[in-house]
Amino acid sequence: MRQEGEAVNSLQAVIAKMPRIELIAGPTPIERLHRIEEALGNSLGGVRLFVKRDDVMGLGGGGSKLRKLEFLLGDAKTKEADTVIAVGGRQSNHARLTAAAAARCGLKCELMLTQAVPRYDTDYQQSGNVLLDNLFGATIHDLPSSANAWDHANARAISLRAEGRGAYVTPTGGSSPIGCLGYAACALEIVEQSRALGIQFDRIVIPNGSSGTHAGLAAGFVALEQAPSLVRSFCVLANEEDSRDTTAKLLGATLQLLDVRASVDATEIDVIGSERGSAYGAPTASMMRSLRLMARCEGLLLDPVYSGKAFAGLLAGICNGDYAPGHNVLFIMTGGSPGLFAYRNEFAG
């Protein structure tokens, strides 16, 4: 078996060859949730809780999508794009961060936003991420829920190219193998921080929307010769089975891109569907409780669509004894706090 250092070096070397634009200044911090541990008391069962602060990044309000955009915009630059097109729901964090990153890189940005979530109040339609999309100078194309945003984006790219412009369409949620490289690189970052802190993380917990965060992290850990089940996600968009399949496919394609000859079966991928609720973007009581607990105990912000649901799943798992006493669990705070302003009605009072 190869030494761990060798696997680290070869993953670093492969990633270093990929086109990348720096959008994040250095590793995001890892912090212990002392006050939540105290609040959970005996029900914590001796589990130690940590967060990786991917919500703390200098650009555009920060969040997980910047990791993917470092590689996607790197690819866009090599293809001489002058315009980036992103697709998403009205309150897409990926769209907002694409707009911010495009501004930083001197690229134009167009967003194809659908009414994926049936919320038509002013807060949802005008505040939160949409307000920031406008501030970052993006052109917004409003599409109905029935529209295929991906087709619209590609049609727009074709017409821009016909005018002699260079258009680059980013994948939904930034989740292509190229986008997943951002979280494969994050796996390296976690391994280095783990060594520096002297803490071995037994489980890493994340939300799963378009599955690129899970696939990228798991690909990184597999490249580092660790089990893909180190990563557990709570799906919030598709159901559990579909999310697991999408994650497995993306993970396989990302391993290929990384030139890692390992195969991972879908049964080795840990996706849990208990927190999705009635639909994508529909608030749940457990999301509201977890979000308030994090805010009131730690002064930290989860978001109502992704991280709030995933953290609720982590808390439920702790109470059910899913994590062994003495285990170190790392929750990745993926950002998305602008979405809170779109859900003002839920949180008022």
Please list the active-site residues.
92
Selected from 170, 290, 307, 328, the binder of ligand PLP by CB under 6 A is: 307
Q: Where does 8-144 show beta strands of DSSP type E?
A: 30-32, 48-53, 83-89, 108-114, 139-143
User: Could you say whether residue 182 binds ligand PLP (CB under 6 A)?
Assistant: no
Among the listed residues 348, 8, 343, 19, the one whose alpha carbon sits nearest the alpha carbon of residue 181: 19
Task: Tell me how many residues contact ligand PLP (CB under 6 A).
Answer: 19
Sole window of 103-111, 116-124, 142-150, 206-214 interacting with ligand PLP (rule: CB under 6 A): 206-214
CA 242 to chain centre: 17
Q: What separation in angstroms does the CA of 49 have from each of 157, 228, 283, 290, 330?
A: 45, 20, 24, 14, 6
Q: Which of 98, 114, 170, 175 lies at the binding interface for ligand PLP (CB under 6 A)?
A: 175
| Tokens linked to 36 | 């939540």
Cβ 305 to ligand PLP, closest distance in Å? 7
Residue spans of beta strands (DSSP E) within 61-191:
83-89, 108-114, 139-143, 167-169
Nearer to ligand PLP, 176 or 328 (CB): 176
d(CA 274, CA 311): 12
Pick one of 61, 173, 182, 338: the residue that binds ligand PLP (CB under 6 A). Answer: 173
Interface with ligand PLP, residue 283, by CB under 6 A: no
CB of residue 307 vs ligand PLP: minimum separation in angstroms?
5
Which of the stretches 8-16, 27-35, 261-269, 330-338 binds ligand PLP when contact is defined by CB under 6 A?
Answer: 330-338
Check if the beta carbon of residue 50 is closer than 8 Å to that of residue 39. Answer: no
Give whichever of 313 and 335 is closer to ligand PLP, judged by the CB atom: 335
Instruction: State the nearest-atom distance from the C-beta of 100 to ligand PLP, in Å.
Output: 13
Residue 66's nearest CA partner among 16, 14, 15, 105 is 105
Q: Which residues bind ligand PLP (CB under 6 A)?
A: 63-64, 93-94, 173, 175, 207-213, 303, 306-307, 334-336
